[in-house]
């Protein structure tokens, strides 16, 4: 690959890293704001709140999952029958 293309890629990676840093800081700010809203609901013992412009809910959720390693070790044949493989591409930059 020509040197000027490599230089351009390096510039793009530097820009990417800068934007990732900005995005991380913004996500931290978003999480802090969410925490304040959540704490206000908890303080008042509310799980739902409707304002002039928004509807807010804070509730407990539940999700069922399967212990993949245990299933694979204890029931390898069943695991093999039920396993689903997904294929995708990953771009890694370090």
3-state secondary structure string across 26-91: HHHHHHHHHHHHHHHHHHCCCCEEECCCCEEECCCCCCCCCCHHHHHHHCHHHHHHHCCCCCCCCC
In a domain, 84, yes or no: no
pLDDT at position 35 = 97
pLDDT at position 1 = 87
pLDDT at position 81 = 95
In a domain, 93, yes or no: no
pLDDT at position 79 = 95
Which tokens go with 29? 């700010």
In a domain, 46, yes or no: yes
The model scores a pTM over 0.85: no
Residue 94 pLDDT > 90: no
pLDDT at position 24 = 98
Report percent pLDDT > 90 for the chain: 95
In a domain, 72, yes or no: no
In a domain, 30, yes or no: yes
In a domain, 31, yes or no: yes
In a domain, 71, yes or no: no
Total domains present in the chain: 1
pLDDT tens digit string along 52-92? 999 999 999 999 999 999 999 999 999 999 999 999 999 88
Could you tell me the residue range of the domain that residue 52 belongs to? Answer: 3-64
In a domain, 90, yes or no: no
| Average pLDDT along the chain | 96
């Amino acid at each position: 690959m020509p040197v000027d293309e490599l230089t351009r890629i390096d510039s793009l990676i530097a820009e990417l890293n800068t934007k990732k840093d900005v995005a991380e800081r913004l996500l931290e700010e978003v999480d802090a704001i969410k925490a304040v809203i959540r704490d206000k609901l908890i303080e008042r013992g509310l799980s739902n709140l409707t304002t002039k412009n928004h509807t807010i809910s804070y509730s407990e959720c539940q999700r069922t999952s399967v212990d993949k390693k245990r299933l694979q070790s204890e029931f390898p044949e069943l695991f093999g029958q039920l396993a689903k493989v997904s294929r995708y591409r990953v771009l890694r930059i370090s």
